[in-house]
Amino acid sequence: MPKRHLRDLTVSVIGLGCMGFSQSFPPFPSREESVRTIRQAVDEGITFFDTAEVYGPFTNEELLGEALEPVRDQVVIATKFGWDVHEGDGAYRVDKPFDVNSSPEQIRHAVEGSLRRLKTDHIDLLYQHRVDPKVPMEDVAGTVADLIKEGKVLHFGLSEAGPTAIRRANAVCPVTALQSEYSMFFREPEHEIFPVLEELGIGFVPFSPLGRGILTGSVRRTTTFDSSDFRSGVPRFQGENFSSNMDLVDALSEVAAEKGVTLPQLALAWILAQKDYIVPIPGTKQIRRIQENLGALGVDLSPEDLARIGKILEEHPVSGERYSPSHMKFVNRG
């Protein structure tokens, strides 16, 4: 398995986003099946696993803790703090996300819980899940810096943070990676985020690199999403937006077919070709999909291929926001 570097953290060139085992994209596999799939991912060479306390909440970290305990010294585990969530809270709701909370006290509370659930004495990469406008970034970064000194955390990351927030955090505690949405269906980070990451030497971890499933080949024009599915409230998957966006899927599918690869393999190969500091974390619950995604490593995109894809993306702009209004308020662009 090829490796890439997120600043000074070395990981497999493709990781595994684990949220879907517990949240947002039902149906969910049994715990036994999930553990087996995660361990098979390790056997396939994946060393980078992504979770968060809010996934479930809490149950996703517990799952990873069980699955990765036998190979803890072989893998990199990333988790996240930043939500006002506590033991005993009910399941995460698509229509009503928890509020943000990155107070120093809540960060420490979250980390102690994550360490316990993950069955480990350290977190390899700890992200602030969303910027908290109520807490100065210097206080957030300073708290994580203290946790690093204590050996409970090894690396600091941010998620969905804008350029100013990134700079303020990095000035206090070196930021190893930024995790944000990025794919053929959402290219906003290219404009203001990539230049900052390159200037500061920060790695980039795209979540939803397959456009929340629209680039997997499994979403059809006739597909509908249950109310428990995160996508049921996402504008880009609704009505005319969805129909227009499927035109882009059809155009990209033609390119994949001509190259003899699957659509997700094309989409991931395209991401990997953009920058050498990018490590995507496609989420899936099936080992066959993990194996298919890893097939992207064998896809060679020539300059002509990339130019053709670029032209398609320009001709088919994505329609609709990527979050519901209740989620968009947590996106930081500052």
What is the per-residue pLDDT across 235-261, written as a single tens digit (0 to 9) for each?
999 999 999 999 999 999 999 999 999
Of all residues in the chain, what percent carry a pLDDT higher than 90? Answer: 87
Q: Where does the pLDDT of residue 297 fall: very low under 50, low under 70, confident under 90, or very high at 90 and above?
A: very high
State the average pLDDT over residues 88-115. Answer: 91
- Judge whether residue 56 has pLDDT over 80: yes
Per the model's pLDDT, the better-predicted residue between 230 and 33 turns out to be: 33
- Is the pLDDT at 94 greater than 90? The verdict is no
pLDDT for position 269: 98
pTM of the model: 0.95
Domain layout of the chain by residue ranges: 3-214+264-300
Per-residue pLDDT averaged across 175-179, rounded?
Answer: 98
Confidence of residue 149 (pLDDT cuts 50, 70, 90): very high
Find the catalytic residue in 55, 92, 127, 323. Answer: 55
pLDDT at residue 135 above 80?
Answer: yes
Interval 108-129 mean pLDDT:
98
Tell me if the domain spanning 3-214+264-300 has CATH number 1.10.540.10. no
* Mean pLDDT calculated for residue range 181-186: 96
Tokens 């496609």 sit on residue: 282
pLDDT for the residue 92: 83
Pick 284 or 88 by higher pLDDT.
284
Q: Say yes or no to pLDDT of 317 above 80.
A: yes
SS (H, E, C) the chain: CCEEEECCEEEECCCEECHHHCCCCCCCCCHHHHHHHHHHHHHCCCCEEECCCCCCCCHHHHHHHHHHHHHHHHCEEEEEECECCCCCCCCCECCECCCECCCHHHHHHHHHHHHHHCCCCCEEEEEECCCCCCCCHHHHHHHHHHHHHCCCEEEEEEECCCHHHHHHHHHHCCEEEEEEECECCECCHHHHHHHHHHHHCCEEEEECCCHHHCCCCCCCCCCCCCCCCHHHHCHHHCHHHHHHHHHHHHHHHHHHHHHCCCHHHHHHHHHHHHCCCECCCCECCCHHHHHHHHHHHHCCCCHHHHHHHHHHHHHCCCCCCCCCHHHHCCCCCC
277 is a catalytic site residue: no
CB count within 10 Å of CB 194 equals 17
pLDDT value, residue 84: 95
